[in-house]
Amino acid sequence: MADIRIEHVRKSYGALTVLHDFDLAIEDGEFVVFVGPSGCGKSTMLKILAGLEDATEGRILIGGRDVTDRPPGERDIAMVFQNYALYPHLTVRGNMGFGLKMRGAAKDEIDRRVTEAAKLLGVDHLLDRRPKQLSGGQRQRVALGRAIVREPQGFLMDEPLSNLDAKLRVQMRAEISALHQRLNVTTIYVTHDQTEAMTMADRIVIMRDGTIQQIADPDTMFHNPANLFVASFIGSPGMNLLAVTPQVNESGVHVNLFGTRVKLPIEASLVEKRPLVLGLRPEHITATPGPVSVTVEPSLVESLGSEKYVYVPMPEQNRLDGYEPGDGRRGEQFVVRLAEPGPLKTGEPLTLSFDPARLHLFDGASGKAL
């Protein structure tokens, strides 16, 4: 096991820069997740760590050793790929022990490690089968086992669950988390799925366009997002973002939301002479009486059994022009997540409530949290 240091890494392909000054310290035994939309640079950073890509600038240190210019085989880290990368002609036993065999390990040592890893992952009864005889989940366990038997200083996982169905992803997510707790090996995990990031990570690194947007533990990321992108990317659905024009007088700071005048629990000096964006998470809105109530007409109601998603047209004055939230949802819809609200119908008036203390405040020009 070892700590991993990424020091001011930049990666360019000619005039195109895909990573900008990536700087991160990962502690020994920590589980860190890189998350962001497709093309944000997270997989490129993983390949640089693995030695499959060269950094244009910066350094990589593993266990205090500078491996920036070392080939993959000399970095003592194991990678788990999205497509499993199993050899079809080898059995499960052969696949799991292949790396050790190539390193000249003794047969008895290979058998011992493979057997231990197979039992740990629950595939010991599959050791004599070939990959084509396995399900997707079993193949992923074998790929994990191949990494485990090497007993590396760190694991790199590149979207390892993306080829599995939704139910199996949930199961494997829990298994990988439990496995990490048992092995306590430094792990860097790449995904575009913010749910995976929130449920698995000790810390999350949110990326956008090759730049780190925020580094924090899941609770901090959810409750104190650093900017508009993080606010809308984390959470399902993402945070509702509303453009507002604050009105400041002797009684405080007020804004207009859905035709209702709302007093903000902030100092006037914080909002003077700047455009503002308010954020409100879908789950922080209720259909029961609260401090502030608004009446709306849903344009769509989605039932998930134990909860409903209610979509309401965003008032024209509250729409964010030219901004696409981090979860890809367009800004014309305000989303409410209600737990067991009872029957709801599209087009019928619905009274919603929220606590102004739950509102998030962002600078409308920079997008940074205030």
pLDDT tens digits, 283-342: 999 998 899 999 999 999 999 888 999 999 998 888 887 666 555 555 688 999 998 778
Residue 218 sits in the same domain as residue 241:
no
Residue 169 sits in the same domain as residue 220:
yes
Residue 23 sits in the same domain as residue 117:
yes
CA 107 – CA 319 distance, rounded (Å): 65
Residue 174 sits in the same domain as residue 102:
yes
Is the residue at 40 inside a domain?
A: yes
Which pTM does this prediction carry?
0.90
CB neighbour list of residue 241: distance below 8 Å, 6 or more residues apart: 228, 231, 232, 277, 278, 279, 320, 323, 325, 331, 362
CB neighbour list of residue 49: distance below 8 Å, 6 or more residues apart: 4, 6, 60, 75, 77, 156, 188
Q: How many domains does the chain have?
A: 2
Name the domain boundary from 225, 248, 269.
225
Name the domain boundary from 225, 244, 274.
225
Residue 162 sits in the same domain as residue 276:
no
Q: Give the pLDDT of residue 273.
A: 67
Give residue-wise pLDDT tens across range 223-248.
999 999 999 899 988 899 998 888 88
Give residue-wise pLDDT tens across range 102-131.
888 999 999 999 999 999 998 999 999 999
Residue 53 sits in the same domain as residue 146:
yes
CA 177 – CA 180 distance, rounded (Å): 5
Name the domain boundary from 164, 196, 225.
225
Give residue-wise pLDDT tens across range 195-230.
999 999 999 999 999 999 999 999 999 999 999 999
Backbone angles phi, psi at 143, to 5 degrees: -60, -40
Structural domain boundaries enclosing 47 = 4-225
Q: Residue 68: which pLDDT band, with cuts at 50, 70 and 90?
A: very high
Residue 165 sits in the same domain as residue 285:
no
Residue 181 sits in the same domain as residue 301:
no
Q: Give the pLDDT of residue 163.
A: 83
Residue 126 sits in the same domain as residue 32:
yes
